[in-house]
Amino acid sequence: MARKKQYKEDEVIDKAMHLFWRNGYENTSMQMLEKEMGINKFSIYSSFGSKHGVFLESLKCYKKNIKSIFDTFKNGTEGVADIKKFFYDSVAITFQGKNQKGCLVTNTYNEFSESDDQLIKEQMGSFMDNLKELIIEKLKMDPSKDEDTILKQANFLLLAKHGLAAASRVNSQKEIEDYIEMTFQNI
Amino acid sequence: MARKKQYKEDEVIDKAMHLFWRNGYENTSMQMLEKEMGINKFSIYSSFGSKHGVFLESLKCYKKNIKSIFDTFKNGTEGVADIKKFFYDSVAITFQGKNQKGCLVTNTYNEFSESDDQLIKEQMGSFMDNLKELIIEKLKMDPSKDEDTILKQANFLLLAKHGLAAASRVNSQKEIEDYIEMTFQNI
DNA sequence: AAAATAACTAAACGATTGTTTAGTTTAGAA
DNA sequence: TTCTAAACTAAACAATCGTTTAGTTATTTT
């Protein structure tokens, strides 16, 4: 064996994630990553292979970070109220620090919407499908809703969530919360 | 006098606008602009000064293009129904061709949300303020709404419009239209 | 027709992009 | 303690970024 690494990979990836979160993929350079991660290019490449590799790991890291929100959502038993809480929890992380903008997954979804990057698209697709499934599950807890209504409302909420993530990059916390309240007035 | 220009500036700007619309500012290179506009860098620089100059002109061009939608909105006399029609008209241009993504102003608003580009920020600010004013004007046509409700609903609709523009980059026409219908159920 | 000047072509600019590589340091195995 | 291999530093890589510039073509005016 030989020398030990002087950094922990999950620690430097967490820093990289915040950088991507704030600036997006294309507007984050290796130079910025070096500075933020605190290690030089050689180390980055030996650990993650490429800038793209760093980004994919950052996405995984992000998902791990929001897992608790999803778990709370999944385990909820109050239907629509769970969805609403999930919306509040989702935007809350945007306002807890200043090094993040909106939702990294949604930002990525938008930035790569024109790209044909298969790995990224898979990550995005599974995330969205999973979310839609959960929303449908919660809506079904209300027996008064028929299948058709549930699908329509699920699409509505999914799009509202997407818009919310986009808007949370430029709108204030109060505007965001007012929006959530009005969104759930007719669900 | 001397040689004549072999291109019309508003024609090449229209092409530049579509490129920016599709790719955003940062992900559109001078090389791409050369190809799309059909003229070379010298001509671009002599006509517009810089890439930034091309972008500002593209924004003006975009605003000119959507002016008719705004005029229809402004001249409407049916209150909330006018707002709804404005939403439909706004997303319609996204689906009429394939070289555009969402709303150029909203895309720019998001892309430059972290920047301190004063010229761009002014353009965005005036656009949003103008839109909010119009929405309030239409909401006021309903005498049953008090001042507080109007402000809250205006904020809601502005954010919904923003989210809609973001979502229209990745969602289908049907999803978008379902969303609009549900948005106006409690306005 | 000649002079003047704006519009063109095409190459180059320095800076920065993501990536690689040569050389040095450090730590465990022999 | 010596050898080996991984982790480091730092410089360089080719490609591309936005921008400029030198030289040629074309049109108008004198």
pLDDT over 80 at A172, yes or no = yes
Which residues of chain B are within 8 Å of residue A182 when distances are taken between CB atoms? 152-153, 156, 186
Does residue B152 approach strand C to less than 7 Å at its CB? no
Q: Is A24 helix (H, G, I), strand (E, B) or coil?
A: coil
pLDDT for B113:
86
The number of C-beta contacts closer than 8 angstroms across A and B is 85
pLDDT for B100:
74
Could you tell me the fold of the domain covering B66-186? Answer: Tetracycline Repressor; domain 2 (1.10.357)
Q: Do A171 and B160 touch (CB under 8 A)?
A: no
Across the range A74-96, mean pLDDT stands at 95
The number of helix segments (H) and strand segments (E) in chain A equals 10, 0
- Asked whether this chain's domains A9-62 and A66-186 adopt the same fold, the reply is no
Calculated CA dihedral for residues B94, B98, B104, B107, nearest 10 degrees: 100
Q: Which residues of chain B have pLDDT under 50?
A: none
Across the range A90-108, mean pLDDT stands at 86
Across the range A158-168, mean pLDDT stands at 92
Shortest CA gap A44–chain B (Å): 24
Cα–Cα distance for residue pair A102/B92, rounded to 1 Å? 26
**Which of the nucleotides lies closest to B46 (Cα–C1')?**
C7
Does residue B35 approach strand C to less than 7 Å at its CB? no
Q: Do A152 and B178 touch (CB under 8 A)?
A: yes
Q: Do A159 and B176 touch (CB under 8 A)?
A: yes
Cα–Cα distance for residue pair A15/B81, rounded to 1 Å? 47
A1 confidence band (pLDDT: 50, 70, 90)? low
Does residue A8 approach strand D to less than 7 Å at its CB? no
How many Cα atoms occupy the beta-carbon half-sphere of A31 within 13 Å? 1
Q: Do B155 and A169 touch (CB under 8 A)?
A: no
Cα–Cα distance for residue pair A61/A55, rounded to 1 Å? 10
Residues A53-71: tens digit of each pLDDT: 999 999 999 999 999 999 9
How many Cα atoms occupy the beta-carbon half-sphere of A164 within 13 Å? 27
Structure token digits, residue B40: 């070379």
A116 confidence band (pLDDT: 50, 70, 90)? confident
pLDDT over 80 at A38, yes or no = yes
- The secondary structure of residue A103, as a DSSP letter, is -
* Strand D positions closer than 7 A to protein CB: 4-12, 16-22, 25-29
CB atoms within 10 A of CB B85: 15
Could you tell me the fold of the domain covering B9-62? Answer: Arc Repressor Mutant, subunit A (1.10.10)
Does residue B50 approach strand D to less than 7 Å at its CB? yes
pLDDT for B1:
62
* Strand C positions closer than 7 A to protein CB: 4-12, 16-22, 25-29
C-alpha A135, offset from chain centre: 16
Rounded to whole angstroms, the distance from the CA of residue B17 to the C1' of nucleotide D15 is 26
pLDDT for A7:
96
C-alpha A81, offset from chain centre: 21
Residues A16-36: tens digit of each pLDDT: 999 999 999 999 999 999 999
Cα–Cα distance for residue pair A20/A99, rounded to 1 Å? 10
pTM: 0.92
